[in-house]
A and B are shown apart, each in its own frame.
Chain A
Amino acid sequence: MSGGVLVLGEIGDDGLRPSTLELIAAGLELADGGAGRVAVALIGADAPAHVQAVSVAGVEEVILAAPERERFEAHVWEAALGALIEARRPAVVLAGHTADSLGFAPAVAARLRLGFASDVTWVAWEQGGPLARRGAYGERLIAELDFPAKETVLLLLRPGACGARADADAGAGGTGASARISRVELDLDGVARTERIELREAPAGEVDIAKADFLLSIGRGVGGGERIGELERLARLMGATLSGSGPLVEAGLLSRARKVGQSGRTVAPRVYLALGISGAAPHVAGMSKARTIIAVNSDPGARIFDVAHYGAVADLFEVAAELERQLS
């Protein structure tokens, strides 16, 4: 086979990642546009357990590779994906823009001189090739990309952004009905270059922000921490649980358990009140499903206003002081 779409499923320590179904949905959309057949590749020992889940209607083939590898290792995955691409020559390879992919996908693209784009938020098949969009200049703008003269294009799709059909078609998982299963033998002896010593689960912490109805979430807009007491007091007064963005956790102003986002917790409270958070993609990944998002930011161009339901361009401390005054 050459041409077509190869979707690389992602299996973590906790099973098949839901973003895999989005990738499949995006692959099927490309196929509808004329990209050719869709195959799903699963790498590693756990792969056979997930064949059914990825056998969504429209997927023609499920490829199982490297069954002897127990778990993700970046160099093994690099070699396995590289070998699959060289054997199959797909027109498009879709993988997730995730912590695991970032460890090997760019290496595959560079070595094999593939077309490549990461953190892709939109993709379509146009005039015989893929067209992709991603952020530019801190996502103030969107760049539209094409891939002239590239036989294979590897795209890392931002979780939650592409494959809108995932919920409708693939969300429930596959039926296992029509997909052909093939197994690929790869010689991966001695390819691993890292050795896992330990996996440390996210700490339980003193609070479970995912259970809160109302999160008051703070970002780097609060400054160096001198005034964080005001916001803790406000959270208590409002009956909210305090959470925040990654940089505040890194600065030691909030505990790890309170971090919202890709490398923190995913939350969906009734109300998410964001003060001084810019709305970077890794943060939004963790809170976009909140029922009502209210954002206060002094920058009218802040991306948080794209996901917020209500917004105010204002100094967060002035608003916080007023909230405190009106509530006491």
Chain B
Amino acid sequence: MKILVPVKQVASIDGDFTLDGAGELDPRALHWQANEWDAFSLEAALQLAESSSAGEGFEVVVVTVADEHGEEGLRACLAMGADRALRVWDPALAGVDDPLAIAAVLAAVARREDPGLILCGVQSSDSANAATGVALAGLLELPRVAVVTAIEQDGGGLTVQRELDGGAVEVLRLSLPALLTIQTGINEPRRANLRAIKLARSKPSATLALSDLDLDVSDVREVAGARTVRLLERGRGEGASMIEGPAEAIAGRIVELVTRELRA
């Protein structure tokens, strides 16, 4: 069985940055790193592949929709144990980060690869839409479960647990092919060792253009759910009253506050 694992490099802003008058961000303020959720979805895929009965071949394929920033993430996935990597990019996709648009691109990849299982992260830590995976399932009309915290193979299908708001857990059975969105904490993602990192260089990886997927950029833009008008500084509400000074002074003030509030 083939398992497709969509991954993403997320952008974070550290330290100082400024928005220009039009509400746009200087891209030089961005730092890139692997999305926290993806290590868990890839690990889940690798564990399923490893636990499979001998003879049944598994292939774990990672895919990203990204410019060159995506390469580093894919290499890390190959080093962790993925068998093959795909990067979809087209200059026309620059600036497209809408979850439905990305899902449309991934759907074309999935139609081509025909995986038995797709494992996405619940969300990415930069935009936190928590939507790409389930949108992809919708486009492919695949059975899906969101926010999965445990997976077991169960005959020809899967038994999974999903996390509900409030801490309850629902245990569900579904058949394959299927798509799951994976929650952090489901497993302990492995770290790649040096040998694996070297080995990763010889694993197959390919870059696809939209035309390779029979997609037109207008198809992708048309599915996009929203358009960003501008970026704004975050409103800080009332904001906290800040305690200044060395640790000693901070601790002193905290003791004071706690004592007062618990008495009140």
Contact = CB atoms under 8 A, between A and B. Distances in A.
A263 B185 contact: no
A318 to B, nearest CB: 4
A200 B261 contact: no
A145 B227 contact: yes
A313 interface: yes
B251 A309 contact: no
A99 B128 contact: no
Interface string B169-204: 111111100000100110000000000000000000
Given A105-B131, A295-B240, A310-B243, 9 more contacts: A13-B168, A144-B230, A145-B228, A146-B226, A199-B168, A263-B164, A264-B167, A305-B242, A306-B236
A309 B240 CA distance: 4
A74 B168 contact: no
Nearest to B245: A312
A104 interface: yes
B240 A119 contact: no
A213 B250 contact: no
Interface in B40-85: none
A59 to B, nearest CB: 24
A294 B172 contact: no
B232 A142 contact: yes
A107 B232 contact: no
Nearest to A103: B146
B234 A140 contact: yes
A118 interface: yes
Q: Which 3 A-B pairs have the closest CB atoms?
A: A107-B138, A250-B185, A116-B225
A208 B228 CA distance: 43
Given A119-B128, A249-B185, A262-B165, A137 B11 contact: yes
Interface stretch (A32-40, A166-174, A189-197): A189-197
Nearest to A299: B14
Interface string A296-309: 10000101011111
9 contacts: A100-B165, A103-B147, A131-B229, A145-B227, A263-B165, A310-B254, A314-B250, A319-B251, A323-B251
A291 to B, nearest CB: 7
A321 to B, nearest CB: 7
B240 A195 contact: no
Interface in A145-180: 145-148, 150, 154
A314 B242 CA distance: 11
Contacts of A133: 232
Contacts of A138: 10, 12-13, 125-126, 128
Interface string A230-253: 000000001000000011011100
A99 B104 contact: no
Contacts of A266: 166
Interface string B6-36: 0000111101010100010100001000000
Contacts of A144: 23, 228-232
A74 B181 CA distance: 13
B43 to A, nearest CB: 13
B226 A103 contact: no
Given A116-B100, A137-B11, A202-B166, A147 B262 contact: no
B231 A141 contact: yes
A296 B250 contact: yes
A201 B168 CA distance: 4
B155 interface: no
A321 B185 contact: no
Contact of B241 (A14, A118, A273, A310): A310
B233 A141 contact: yes
A197 B169 CA distance: 11
A322 B247 CA distance: 7
B239 interface: yes
B222 to A, nearest CB: 7
Nearest to B222: A113
A312 B144 contact: no
B172 A306 contact: no
B257 A196 contact: no
Contacts of A263: 147, 163-167
Contacts of A135: 127-128, 234
B4 interface: no
B230 to A, nearest CB: 5
A323 B147 CA distance: 38
A256 interface: yes
A259 B167 CA distance: 9
B17, B131, B168, B244: residue with the most chain A Cβ atoms closer than 10 Å: B131
Interface in A282-297: 291-296
Interface in B206-248: 222-223, 225-237, 239-244, 247-248
